[in-house]
C-alpha cells in the first residue's frame, strides 16, 4: 500500500457537465491524498463560466488556469495536448497526477485503489536495454485488444514525470499514416515507445484496416480480424503489445463500475482457461474489445489461457519474444512491407465481400 502519496488533479477542457463536475469536486475534496485541483481550460470558457467557476473556487479550492484556445486540429488533439501540458506546468512536480474531465465521475473506490496501488515496474531481463519512458506504471482504463495502444484517454493516473511523457504533438501521425479517428488515443499511449519498438510504428500504416469504429459494420470488422489472426506478423505485434502494456501500464481500478460518463464502453472479460478465440472473436457485437483489468496480462505471463489454434500462434509468438536477449529486436527480421500489403488486401477483400452481400 502507498498511503503517503500526494495527488494533484488536472481536469481538462470545457465545462460540459457542471452537475457531474460539482459531484467530482465534492469527492476530490473529501480524499486526503488530493492536495490540489486544477481546471486547465481556455480563456473564453473561463470568461463564459466565470460565476460558476468562482463558486467552485470558493467551495472546493478549484484553481483555474486558462490560455487562448489553440487552432483546431484533428479530433481536438491539439487542444487536449495543450490543456494537459498547461495543467502539468501549474501543479506540484513532486505529486502524482490524476488527469480527468469535467464530464467524468470516477468512483471513490476506484480512486482509492489507484492512489494506493503498487505501480513498481517489474521488467524481464530482455527489457533491460529498453530506454524506459516511465519510472512507474501508469494507471489507464480501457485497453483495446486488437489495435495496439488504442487506450481510452478519459482519465489516467501516475507520476508527474510519467504523465508528462503522454503529451505528444508529433505531426507524423497526421501526415504519414492513414489512421482511424482512434489515432488521438493511440498516439498518446504509443508515442513513448515508438522509437524503441519499430514494429509498432510499422503497424500504424494499417491500423485503419481493423474497422473497430462505428463507421464500419461488424461483418467487415470481424472478417478482417479473423484473417489477420491467421497472420504470423499480426500475432507477433499483438503479443509484443500485450507484453509492453502489461509491464508499463495497469488497467486495474478495483471495482467493476469504475466511472460514470455519457457513453461508457462495454468491456470484455478474461478468466483463466478462456481461449484467445473466445476472447477476440466471441463478442462480435462489440466494435472495440476493451479488456477489463489486468487478468489477461497476468495469464499471458503464466500461460493460463485455454488451448485453441489462435492461442497456439500466440504461444509461438511469446516463445519467440521470451527467447530474445533484447526485446527491442522483436520482429525486425520480418518483411513488414509484405505484411502491410497483406493487411491492405484483407481490408479490400472485406469491402468487396460487403458489397456482394448487400447487392
How is the chain split into domains, by residue range?
A: 165-357
Alpha carbon 108 to its chain centroid, in Å, reads: 21
Q: Model pTM?
A: 0.94
- 196 is written with which cell numbers? 524503441
Higher pLDDT, 226 or 357: 226
Look at residue 214 in the predicted model and tell me its pLDDT.
80
**Chain segment 89-104, per-residue pLDDT in tens:** 999 999 999 999 999 9
Mean pLDDT for the stretch of residues 321-350: 94
| Residue 77's pLDDT band (cuts 50, 70, 90) | low
- What is the mean pLDDT of the segment spanning 6-13? 95
Q: What value does the mean pLDDT take over residues 230-251?
A: 97
pLDDT over 70 (residue 340): yes
What pLDDT score was predicted for residue 164? 96
Closest CA to 90 of 163, 162, 36: 36
CB 166 within 8 A of CB 194: no
Name the average pLDDT for the chain.
92
User: Which helix or strand (DSSP H or E) is residue 319 part of?
Assistant: helix 309-323
CB 243 within 8 A of CB 300: yes
pLDDT on residue 76? 62
pLDDT at 358 > cutoff 60: yes
| Predicted confidence (pLDDT) at residue 173 exceeds the cutoff of 80 | yes
pLDDT tier for residue 78 given thresholds of 50, 70 and 90? confident
Average pLDDT over residues 56-70: 92
Confidence at 73, pLDDT banded by 50, 70, 90: low
Question: Looking at per-residue confidence, does 138 or 178 come out higher?
Answer: 138
What's the pLDDT band for 252 if we cut at 50, 70, 90? very high
Question: What pLDDT score was predicted for residue 215?
Answer: 81
Confidence band for 72, pLDDT divided at 50, 70 and 90: low
Helix (H) or strand (E) holding 90: helix 77-90
Whether pLDDT at 4 is above 90: no
The mean pLDDT of 107-120, rounded to a whole number, is 97
Q: Residues 6 or more apart from 90 whose CB is under 8 A from it?
A: 38, 40, 63, 65
Q: What DSSP line would sit under 254-288, residue for residue? A: SSS--EE-TTPPPEE---TT--HHHHHHS-TT-SS
Tens of pLDDT along 20-46? 999 999 999 999 999 999 999 999 999
Q: Report pLDDT digits (tens) over 297-335.
A: 999 999 999 999 999 999 999 999 999 999 999 999 999
Determine the pLDDT at residue 74. Answer: 54
What is the Cα–Cα distance from 104 to 287, expressed in whole angstroms?
A: 22
Residues 6+ apart with CB under 8 A from 179: 173, 186, 204, 207, 208
Amino acid at each position: 500500500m502507498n498511503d503517503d502519496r500526494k495527488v494533484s488533479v488536472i481536469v481538462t477542457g470545457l465545462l460540459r457537465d457542471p452537475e457531474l463536475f460539482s459531484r467530482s469536486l465534492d469527492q476530490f475534496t473529501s480524499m486526503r491524498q488530493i492536495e490540489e485541483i486544477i481546471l486547465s481550460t481556455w480563456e473564453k470558457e473561463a470568461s463564459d463560466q466565470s460565476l460558476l467557476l468562482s463558486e467552485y473556487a470558493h467551495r472546493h479550492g478549484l484553481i483555474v488556469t486558462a490560455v487562448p484556445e489553440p487552432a483546431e486540429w484533428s479530433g481536438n488533439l491539439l487542444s487536449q495536448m495543450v490543456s494537459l501540458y498547461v495543467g502539468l506546468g501549474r501543479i506540484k512536480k513532486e505529486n502524482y497526477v490524476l488527469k480527468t474531465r469535467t464530464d467524468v465521475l470516477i468512483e471513490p473506490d476506484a480512486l482509492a485503489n489507484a492512489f494506493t496501488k503498487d505501480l513498481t515496474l517489474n521488467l524481464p531481463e530482455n527489457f533491460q536495454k529498453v530506454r524506459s519512458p516511465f519510472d512507474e506504471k501508469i494507471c489507464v482504463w480501457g485497453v483495446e485488444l486488437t489495435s495496439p495502444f488504442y487506450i481510452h484517454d478519459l482519465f489516467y493516473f501516475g507520476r508527474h514525470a510519467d504523465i508528462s511523457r503522454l503529451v505528444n504533438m508529433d505531426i507524423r501521425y497526421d501526415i504519414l499514416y492513414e489512421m482511424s479517428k482512434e489515432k488521438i488515443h493511440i498516439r498518446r499511449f504509443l508515442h513513448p515507445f515508438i522509437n524503441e519498438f519499430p514494429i509498432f510504428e510499422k503497424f500504424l500504416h494499417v491500423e485503419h484496416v481493423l474497422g473497430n469504429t462505428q463507421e464500419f459494420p461488424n461483418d467487415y470488422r470481424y472478417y478482417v480480424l479473423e484473417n489477420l489472426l491467421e497472420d504470423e506478423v499480426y500475432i507477433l505485434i499483438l503479443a509484443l503489445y500485450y507484453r509492453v502494456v502489461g509491464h508499463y501500464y495497469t488497467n486495474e481500478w478495483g471495482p467493476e463500475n469504475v466511472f460514470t460518463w455519457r457513453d461508457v464502453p462495454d468491456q470484455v472479460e478474461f478468466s483463466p482457461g478462456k481461449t484467445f478465440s473466445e476472447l477476440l472473436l466471441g463478442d462480435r457485437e462489440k466494435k472495440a474489445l476493451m479488456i477489463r483489468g489486468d487478468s489477461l496480462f497476468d495469464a499471458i505471463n503464466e500461460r493460463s489461457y485455454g488451448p485453441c489454434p489462435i492461442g497456439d500462434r500466440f504461444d509461438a509468438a511469446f516463445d519467440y519474444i521470451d527467447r530474445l536477449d533484447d526485446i527491442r529486436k522483436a520482429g525486425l527480421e520480418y518483411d513488414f512491407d509484405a505484411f502491410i500489403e497483406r493487411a491492405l488486401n484483407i481490408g479490400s477483400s472485406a469491402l468487396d465481400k460487403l458489397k456482394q452481400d448487400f447487392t
